Amino acid sequence: MGALSSSSTSDVVVIGSGLVGACVAYELSVAGIDVTLLDAERAGRASDAGAGIASPQTFHDLDDEWYRFGRRALEHLRDLVRRLAEDGAAVGSEAFSQCGSLVVALAEHEGPFFDEVRRAVLGRDPTVSEVSAEQATALFPPLARPHRALYSPDSARVDGRTLAGAVRQAARRRGVVNATAAVARIERRRGDGLRVVGDGVGEGVGIDCDSVVLAAGAWSAPLAQNLGAELPVSPTKGEIVHLALGVGGPSPPDTARWPIVQPILNFYLVAWPGGRVACGGTFTAQAGYDVRPTAAGVRDLLRECLTIAPGLADAALVETRVGLRPMSPDQRPMLGPLGSAPGVHVCTGHGANGLLLGPYSAALVATAIATGHVAPELGAYSPSRFTAPSLR
């Protein structure tokens, strides 16, 4: 990325170049709009750390519209990967892959919880079926013998780092300007339009634009406060450990074909090619912007990991990732215009589902900016359900 160092102009400034912000910029560039993409490059960006579960088929939530939103988001992800490849971006095989998912009850006392999830999942998705314990362990060999299991063959995994990098590459090919800058303030220009000023940049120097998109994840709230608005998105810290099988020994197993494991009452496991398995993720709501891995977090993750899959005991601990999930009070995204602040739009608040829902949300917001067409989802997830801000 380049640096924000002098006055410039752009149709739209997107703040935040994680997967969500990058997708907003990309979709706007596809529509022929001049875009500048800003990012402060802070540690803890959620799309760099997330495990990447893309499985609306196994949503436990009983909200059917939420499930349908997730299904549309998954289909959009598949289409996005295809479009990126057509644009010459280096998507790579790890960016997105259909791998399936297992929802498991590990013990008999989890049966009532499993039955509740089973009714919800099987009642709305015919691709999911209950499988035997033997079938489950054949799909994920290190798994403890489960009490009950559901299998979703169409679930997928997303590598947030890889996919976001491919989106930024495709956006640059379409003319999006990337710059490194922590935004100090957003000003109303005399007359029409906005000015985005970088931290430490002199008065009156920055980017003049018609519209701004706040897509800075867990850092979105301070930007809204700059506009005189309270945007209730806050960081929830998540720690994830990455293990490697076959280190210092025989070749690792073919983990690329292993499904995601989603226990009813435990952490989750996501396998990747080359013997890598991620176990996550902790939820710490009061950690602020602390992105340090903790001893307690790693302890809890490894304990639960080996309860779920004792066969991973010999795996090497190779990495601990920490991400700050942008959480809203109702755990739903905030999408669309920021109340009475003309030209300011929001695309954040996806919580633990950003890698699944973010690209689709970004496309909805970009379409609204480019064409004026406001999809029904933007009304359902408008930030105005919490606040009606105005520029000072």
Q: From CA 169, how far away is CA 180, in angstroms rounded?
A: 15
- Kindly state the DSSP code that residue 88 receives in the 8-state scheme: T
Q: Which of 140, 145, 156, 43 is nearest to 94 (CA)?
A: 156
Task: Supply the mean pLDDT for the chain.
Answer: 92
Query: Both tokens of residue 9?
Result: 């102009």
| Residue pair 255/96 in contact by the 8 Å Cβ criterion | no
Going from N- to C-terminal start, the domains of the chain cover 2-47+161-232+330-385, 101-153+235-327
Q: How many CB atoms lie within 10 A of CB 6?
A: 10
Q: How far is CA 132 from CA 103, 139, 267, 305, in A?
A: 12, 11, 21, 21
Amino acid 203: pLDDT: 54
Amino acid 188: pLDDT: 83
Which residues, given as ranges, of the chain have pLDDT below 70? 1-7, 200-205, 340, 387-392
Amino acid 392: pLDDT: 42
Q: In degrees, to the nearest 5, what angle opens at C-alpha 279 toward C-alphas 276 and 282?
A: 150
Amino acid 75: pLDDT: 97
3-state secondary structure of 349: coil
Amino acid 94: pLDDT: 83
Amino acid 246: pLDDT: 87
Query: Both tokens of residue 140?
Result: 């994920």
pLDDT digits (tens, 9 = 90+) for 37-87: 999 999 999 999 988 999 999 998 889 999 999 999 999 999 999 999 999
Range list of H helices, the chain = 19-30, 46-49, 64-86, 111-124, 133-139, 160-173, 220-226, 295-308, 354-371, 376-380
Q: Identify the architecture of domain 2-47+161-232+330-385 in CATH.
A: 3-Layer(bba) Sandwich (3.50)
Amino acid 225: pLDDT: 84
Q: Identify the architecture of domain 101-153+235-327 in CATH.
A: 2-Layer Sandwich (3.30)
Amino acid 175: pLDDT: 96
Amino acid 247: pLDDT: 82
Query: Both tokens of residue 127?
Result: 């691709």
Q: How many CB atoms lie within 10 A of CB 344?
A: 23
